[in-house]
Amino acid sequence: MQRTTGPLLRLKLPAIVRSLLVAPCLFLAAPSLAQVQPAEGPPMLDHPLAWSLYFGGNLERESSQSLDGWDVAAANYPYKPHPWIGGAIAGSGNYFSLPNSSIGLYTLMGGPSVTVPGHRVQPFAHALFGVVFIRHSSTINNVTTTSTNRDIGVTVGGGGDIGIAGPFAIRGQGDWVEYWEQSTHFSAMRGSAGIVFRF
């Protein structure tokens, strides 16, 4: 695939920074939303259904390009005899813009996930497989053309959830992303941070 190079369109407030600004606000509001469990009680991140919902912002680095974006994910650890093993499904969107063109990179993946249940910190790791949608848009002489390619991708990584109050936690995560577009291979590093709700 022919890649366009040039200066990046710099956003005033990257998505990952916005997520980090939201986290302290939720931390301050959390005591009124859910009662903090005492240290001698059950682990803050250990819930009967072990579902977790995550929303955050990310920054992806591919070659010399940086792409701001977002992440959403849901994970479940349903096996009571083995609470450390489960599965996850995740979606993401990342964007790169130039004066007359833009690229949107979207992923939808799922796969196994493992975790180590803890009282306030719960690390996890996953290997996800799925589809990647790459949307190219360009404007020439006030005429905009758009094309979308679909291919396969793999994400391998992990991170940790830190409990703040009741079912709420904050997450830091790092992933290695591999994908193919029309038989051309690409790889990128992605870091993300956001809020987790567990139930």
How is the chain split into domains, by residue range?
15-32+44-198
Extract the tokens encoding 24.
């302290």
Contact status, residue 25 vs residue 157, Cβ threshold 8 Å = no
Which residue do the tokens 């949307």 mark? Answer: 135
Closest CA to 156 of 188, 184, 195, 194: 188
pLDDT of residue 98: 79
pLDDT of residue 101: 85
Residues of the chain with pLDDT under 50: 1-44, 47-49
pTM of the model: 0.71
Q: Is the dihedral of CA 157, 178, 9, 144 positive or negative?
A: negative
CATH number for the segment(s) 15-32+44-198: 2.40.160.20
What single-letter amino acid sits at 28? L
